[in-house]
Structures are given as structure tokens and as C-alpha cells.
Chain A
């Protein structure tokens, strides 16, 4: 067992990597991957910090992490469906090409 700090630092670095990817990648799926990294970091934080509480409240941290995972599933479904749809009409999945409303 390690201190909560160690896990929280790992989570912070993971989140930073995710932020970098979400800003810098061009392909929509790659951006989605980066967002998944950020969500995973958030779930990791919930679990690590829940350890500071007695079991009664520690459940909340874990239940929140489960909800994060479930919501991430819903988000991925719709996001990838959008990517398919855009890919079909524009023949590309690069985000800067999605500029039809930029007039």
C-alpha cells in the first residue's frame, strides 16, 4: 500500500498527458483517446482519495468511479457514431476539416 499522494501524482501526470493529446492531436479518434485518459485519471483520483475515509463514506468514491466509467461508455458510443457520420459525409476524420460552419 502506498500513500494517497503517490497515486494522486500518477493521476495528475496521466491527466496532463490527456490534456496535451486532446489539444494537440488532429484526428478525432485520437482526441477521443486522450479524453479517455483524462477520465481514467479522474476515476483513479476518486478511488485514491476515498481511501482516506472510513468504509462507510469510502463507498461513495468507488460508486462515483463506477458512474464515471458508465458515463464514459455512453459518451464513447455517441462520439464514435458522430465520427462515423462525419467520416461518411466529409471523407476525413481530421478535426480541422470540420469547418463548414466557419464562414
Chain B
């Protein structure tokens, strides 16, 4: 197996161990004085109301959605950018067509005010 890949795997394993130890350690080291008041959700001292796990705004989903579309676009930009100099004008135009179509989607999202936070 090539060394760079080995480095990624070994380092990933080490980072996971680092995080796990970091998150487990306070259980054994820190003091433990549990209490009912202490274990309530913190809302600046006010008794909490409502359930935070109920539905939030769909607006967040819009941003994730638009992000995903343009993330896929960016993914196609990278292999093109690598061969951009060899591909010449033709390759450039091919990518501009691709971008142009997706720019329509961006324009639609702007027009329908999906890019806005209200």
C-alpha cells in the first residue's frame, strides 16, 4: 500500500483516539456532583419552555440544498481545471456551458428569494 494512504489511515486512527480520550477523560478526572437543577438545559436561568427537538425552520434546508447543487458543480470543476491548459478554448467553452446552465438555477434561487434569510 502506498505510504501517503497509510499516513492518512494511521493519522485518522490516531486522531479518533485523541478525541475519544479527550472526551472520556473528564468522566474520571473531574469532580462529580450531579444535581437536578444542574442537569436542566441552560436557558439563562429561566425554566425552559418548549421542546428544542421540535421542527425548526425549513429555511436551513434551502441553504443545504443549494449548497449541495453547487458542491457537485465544484466537484466537476476540479478535474477540468487540472487539464484546463491542454483542453484549450474548446474545453473552456464546454465548461462555460455547464456553468451557464447552473447559473440559471442560481438565478432562479435568487429570484424566488431562497437565498434570503427572513
Q: Which residues of A contact B (CB under 8 A)?
A: 1, 66, 69-70, 73-74, 76-77, 80-81, 84
Q: A76 and B68 in contact (CB under 8 A), knowing A1-B1, A84-B58, A84-B61?
A: yes
The total number of A-B Cβ pairs within 8 Å is 22
Cα(A77)–Cα(B72), bound, Å: 12
Contact of A73 among B1, B58, B61, B72 (CB under 8 A): B72
Q: How many residues of B contact A (CB 8 A)?
A: 10
Instruction: Report yes or no: B65 in contact with A70, Cβ–Cβ below 8 A.
Output: no
14 sample A-B contacts, Cβ–Cβ < 8 Å, listed by A number: A1-B1, A66-B75, A69-B72, A69-B75, A70-B72, A73-B68, A73-B69, A73-B71, A74-B72, A77-B68, A77-B69, A80-B61, A80-B65, A84-B61
Given contact pairs A76-B68, A80-B61, enumerate 14 new A-B contacts (beta carbons under 8 Å). Answer: A66-B75, A69-B72, A70-B72, A70-B75, A70-B76, A73-B68, A73-B71, A73-B72, A74-B72, A77-B68, A77-B69, A80-B65, A84-B58, A84-B61
The binding surface of chain B is classed by DSSP as helix
Chain A residues with CB below 8 A from B68, complex form = 73, 76-77
Q: Which residues of B contact A (CB under 8 A)?
A: 1, 58, 61, 65, 68-69, 71-72, 75-76
Cα(A1)–Cα(B69), bound, Å: 34
Chain A residues with CB below 8 A from B1, complex form = 1
